[in-house]
Structure formats: C-alpha cells, structure tokens
Amino acid sequence: MALLCDTRLLLRKVKDLRCLTPRRNRVKEKWAATRPKYPSTTLALRYFDNTYGLQLGQLWPSIRVALLSEKKYGALFNNFCQDPVFDNLEAQGCRDFIIDANTEEMICAAEPSEVVADEKSSCGSMKKSDSEGQPPAPLQLTSQMRCLVFPRGDITRFKPARPDGFGLLGYYLMDAASLLPCLVLDVRDGHSVLDLCAAPGGKTLALLQTQCIGFLCANDSSVSRTLRLRRTLHSYVPKMYLNEEKLQITSYDGTEWGEIERNTYDRVLVDVPCTTDRHSVTENDNNIFRKNRSGERQRLPRLQLDLLLAGIRAANPGGEIVYSTCTLSEIQNQNVVKEAISVAQENHNITLQVVNLNPLTHLFRKTFHFAPDLDLGVMVVPHLAANFGPIYMCKLRRLT
C-alpha cells in the first residue's frame, strides 16, 4: 500500500514538472520497435576503429580523440564587406594563415615548389612532367583568399558575423582546411570554373573571393541545398557579381555532366559526398551510418568515381581538376583517384598528370597536421592542438 502511495506521489510530481515545461519544448521519448539498438554515431565509430585502426595504425588513437572533440573553425574573410572586420579579428588574436605562410615562404627563398608524381606510384597512366620536357609550373596560391584562425591550442570561438551597411556579412565560418582545395585549384584571371558538388557553398564563396574568375558554374544535385547556396552567396557577394554572365547555379546530377559539357572548363572542383567522418561520429541527425542508409554508404566510392570522371571530362585539355573529401578513408580518397586515372585513360583517352601537393604540407605545417607518406594527394588529419579536418585533396592536370 505504502509503495502504491509513493508511486502515485512520484507520478504526480512528474506531471507537475511536465506542466512547468512549455508545450512546444516537450519531447516525447520514442519507444517504437524501430528504435535502433545502437546510435549511428556508435556504429560509425566502431566501423572507423576497424578500418582506420588498420589504415592509419599508430596515428588512429590520437586522430580518434580529436575527431570526438570540439572542432576548430576558420573565418573566411569576405573581401566584399565594407566594415573593418579583418582588423577586429586580428585584434582578437586571430591570424590569416594564408598570408602568414606566404610571407614565411618568401623569406625562406625559392625552392622548387612543385614536383610531379613519382615512379613508385601505382597509377599506370600518370605522366611525369619532366619526361614531357616541360618544366613543372610552380604551385601558386592566390593571396585574395583570406582566412583567420586562432593560434594552435587556442579554442576561442568566433562570434557570429554581422552585416555591414549593405547587408553583407563580414566572414563565413568554415573548417579552415576546407579552404585548401580552393587554394590548390589555383584559379587565375578569366578562368572558367566548374564547382560540381557546390552546396552549401563554402568553397564557392571562397572561389568568388578571388574576384578574378571569368565564369563560375556552381552545381549540386540537391535542389534544397542549391537554394541554401544561393542564399549564402546573396549574404556575402554584391549582386553585380552574381549575374548570369558570371555565375550560374544549377541542380544537375553531376555524374551526367560529361553528357552535358565536355572539354570546357579551365578548373574543376569535385568536392564529393563522402562519409563525413567528423559528422558521423558526433551527430546522429542525417548520419550516413544509419542502418537504413547502408546501401547509400556502400555506393559512395562508385558515386565518387563517377563524379570525378565527369569532372575530368568537363575540364579542358591542359585544365586542372581538384578532387576533395572530408573523410580519412583510403577507399574514398586515393583508390577513387587511382581508378579515375586509369578509367579516364582507357575509356576516354584522357591522360592525367598528378600534381604533387607536398609543398603545401610544408607551407601550412604550422596551421594543420598532415598525414605522412600518402602515395597520392595530401590529407589534413584532426589533432587536438589544431582540430581541423579531415580533408583529403588530390590535384590532376589534363595532358590530353
């Protein structure tokens, strides 16, 4: 009897507490039979422990800790904003990591900054540029993109950006390592550029900061995400730069691009969908490790290959393509690039040269941690003192 009274009292208290919570904030706990036994984040971590434990060996435990810890942001400075935002950020202790690296490089004198693929690489159709008799062009980084970060070990967060008198925001918060694929794309005056998987638009915005692109096509197969990209651009870029002669935003399936346009662009960015490793171990929402998305996850390498091939075919002979992901997975990174190089040669008679990005790892060694000894491309790996990435990138040049 006493037990029954206690239980009733307890139930009334719970009911009273519910009344204190506004109705809109009440969450009904789901007890459906479909409730997963393990959250997707747990499944992701288990999968990564198995695969990355083998792939990355001793590096994996520290990368794992960083992946599970709070990530660090960079503030992509908006060159179109009229407010003195840059000085304000510097006064808070941030530094532009691109200017810093370039300045140091200039001081350290000119060593050859680009080498091409070496012989031990497993890509049959790769050509070494010296064997072609052409000296490799130096890896140049545009100084128009500016990105501020707090120093190593400093985990201060940026405040949200505020609009200037024209309604344009002062900076865009993003993983600073995401800027590297845009930097290595090396856009020059008048170039035509294709951003094949562009939404939500961080990299498109970074490319527009150069103010030198002749024509930019930003595509993403998701209509809702392309709308988001459009809104982002309108918050940062004056209308005169967003007219149809200079910028087109499309929503095509990028794998079919080869059927739409071939041999057209000077630069192509292929920033593919992937297992988004950091998101997968920290967020259950929209997680690709959910049981009902396992087919989609397994099809990723095929989709990535088709997108990269479409990007390669969209580029001009002589044009350059950057492939990038935010996963540590060798299957989604190096293996996709290797396969694309050989399929491009065999099926489309396109010969590609791999641009060695190792000078980049030296240039930005004070800001990012790079995975050592990758046979193809470079990869920023998360580290507690500089918690950016993962970002993988590989640059290809079309010789034919």
Ligand X SMILES: C[S@@+](CC[C@H](N)C(=O)[O-])C[C@H]1O[C@@H](n2cnc3c(N)ncnc32)[C@H](O)[C@@H]1O
- Marked catalytic residue, from 147, 274, 326, 394: 326
Q: Which is nearer to ligand X, 220 or 320 (CB)?
A: 220
Amino acid at 47: Y
Q: 168 or 300, CB closer to ligand X? A: 300
Per CB under 6 A, 253 contacts ligand X: yes
Report the chain's C-alpha Rg in angstroms.
24
Beta bridge partners of 321: 268, 396
The least distance separating ligand X from the CB of residue 218, rounded to whole angstroms, comes to 9
Tokens describing residue 171: 């900076």
Q: Which of residues 273-292 bind ligand X (CB under 6 A)?
A: 273
* Residue 255 contacts ligand X per CB under 6 A: yes
Instruction: Out of 114, 266, 271, 320, name the contact with ligand X by CB under 6 A.
Output: 271
Our answer to whether residue 326 is catalytic in this structure is yes
Toward ligand X, which CB reaches closer, 123 or 269? 269
| Binding region for ligand X (CB under 6 A) out of 24-32, 183-191, 208-216, 253-261 | 253-261
The reply on whether position 220 binds ligand X by CB under 6 A is yes
Nearest one of 342, 230, 221 to 271, comparing CA atoms: 221
Backbone angles phi, psi at 216, to 5 degrees: -125, 130
Among the listed residues 43, 141, 149, 198, the single contact to ligand X using CB under 6 A:
198
Note whether 222 binds ligand X by CB under 6 A. yes
Is residue 299 within 8 Å of 336, Cβ to Cβ?
no
Tell me the DSSP string of 223-250. Answer: HHHHHHHHHHHHHHS-GGGSSTTTEEEE
Nearer to ligand X, 116 or 229 (CB): 229
Is 203 a residue that touches ligand X (CB under 6 A)?
A: yes
Q: Return the number of the residue (181 or 359) whose C-beta is nearest ligand X.
A: 181
Residues 6+ apart with CB under 8 A from 349: 400
Q: Give every CB contact of residue 58 below 8 A, 6+ residues apart in sequence.
A: none
The answer to whether 225 contacts ligand X (rule: CB under 6 A) is yes
Nearer to ligand X, 83 or 253 (CB): 253
Q: How far apart are CA 201 and CA 228, in angstroms?
A: 8
**Cα-based distances in Å from 262 to 101, 218, 313, 316:** 36, 16, 5, 8
Q: Which is nearer to ligand X, 273 or 359 (CB)?
A: 273
Instruction: Provide the minimum distance between the beta carbon of 221 and ligand X in the complex, in angstroms, as a whole number.
Output: 4
The C-alpha atoms of residue 139 and residue 131 are separated, in whole angstroms, by 19
Order across the sheet with 171-174: list the strands: 95-96, 147-149, 74-77, 171-174
CA distance 7 to 398: 74
- Structure-token pair, residue 261: 């346009």
Q: Residue 205 Cβ, how far from ligand X at the closest point, in Å?
A: 8
Check binding of 377 to ligand X (CB under 6 A). Answer: no
User: What are the angstrom distances between the C-alpha of 239 and each of 98, 168, 191, 206, 259?
Assistant: 27, 11, 20, 16, 31
In whole angstroms, the minimum distance from the beta carbon of 298 to ligand X comes to 15
Whole-angstrom distance, CA of residue 335 vs CA of residue 339: 6
According to CB under 6 A, which one of 74, 136, 170, 202 is a site residue for ligand X? Answer: 202
Told to check if 199 binds ligand X by CB under 6 A, we report yes
As measured in angstroms, the least distance from the Cβ of 346 to ligand X is 22
Residue 201 interacting with ligand X (CB under 6 A): yes
Among 209, 221, 304, 353, binds ligand X (CB under 6 A): 221
Size of the site for ligand X (CB under 6 A): 17
The residue (of 115 and 252) whose beta carbon lies closer to ligand X is 252
Is 197 among the residues that bind ligand X (CB under 6 A)?
yes
- Other CB atoms closer than 10 Å to residue 332's CB: what's the count? 23
- Contact mark string toward ligand X, 154..193, x via CB under 6 A: ------------------------x---------------
| Catalytic positions | 326
Q: What is the binding site for ligand X (CB under 6 A)?
A: 178, 197-203, 220-222, 225, 253-255, 271, 273
